[in-house]
Chain A
């Protein structure tokens, strides 16, 4: 099957260029950085000279839900940046270098070509997210308090939808322009733009994918999945699919040698 051929090639490429090693490691580091450093914050303050006499330090007590948010906010900033940079050339650099000229003169369906790349990136990002959040879950449990495995799984699945949306944006810009740097720039710009719009019009746009993290936070505190979280997830999935279809159309309309 042609789709599997393309998908396997992507998996092999991402294995050989070591993305399957470094992306998971980086997401683990990002996910556990804040839980560990916040735990040792008193010692760190002490080490840098301590507080002036008489000052009383009131370090907040973190609940497991807060710790989850620490991990997610690192993943949403640096994590998303790394993922965008890692995926920026998936189609663009093949077109820029000219390899695509040899691939696409074969009877390759453009839909297969794009969806196989999309799926291979999702496999990598979801796997990396899984180990990252697993590490964060482990530290939360030993340092801060109980967080059920079920909560962990729900956090993983719902946050995975946000990263799926990010990958779909990157794929879309990959079909639009053929300079990887520009793909990254436009993707980040789009994500930041959406975040600003979501904040300004927060009362109207309740189900923006950018709100996934805050609904996940509410879920961990309340212990149940809210209807807002489900609706936001549906919106994230729908937008991802729309971007994917748009990518296929943009790519079909392109002249591949141009």
Chain B
């Protein structure tokens, strides 16, 4: 296992993880300021945080009533 982790060139995978992180942070920032949710406020928080990548996308598409 150790060997596998070492064999991965993190500079290649890191951007992918960073972008996922940015997506989640932007979603959380939007969530924190919003007050027009479709459904419960906290439910959306868990969707954003728990469902990696898909969660923020679902939130951006369906989360708010505007």
Contact = CB atoms under 8 A, between A and B. Distances in A.
A/B touching: CB–CB < 8 A: yes
B54 to A, nearest CB: 10
B50 interface: no
Contact of B16 (A29, A82, A85): A29
Given A17-B66, A85-B61, A36 B12 contact: yes
B47 interface: no
B26 A26 contact: no
Interface SS majority for chain B:
helix
A229 B56 CA distance: 36
Contacts, number: 52
B4 A47 contact: yes
Contacts of A135: 15
B29 to A, nearest CB: 9
Contacts of A47: 1, 4
A157 interface: no
B38 to A, nearest CB: 12
Interface SS majority for chain A:
helix
Interface string A1-45: 000000000000000011101100110110011001001100100
Nearest to B59: A22
B26 A43 contact: no
A138 to B, nearest CB: 9
23 contacts: A18-B26, A18-B30, A18-B60, A19-B60, A21-B26, A22-B23, A22-B27, A22-B56, A25-B19, A25-B26, A26-B23, A26-B53, A29-B16, A29-B19, A29-B23, A29-B53, A32-B16, A36-B16, A47-B4, A82-B57, A85-B61, A86-B61, A93-B66
A19 B66 CA distance: 13
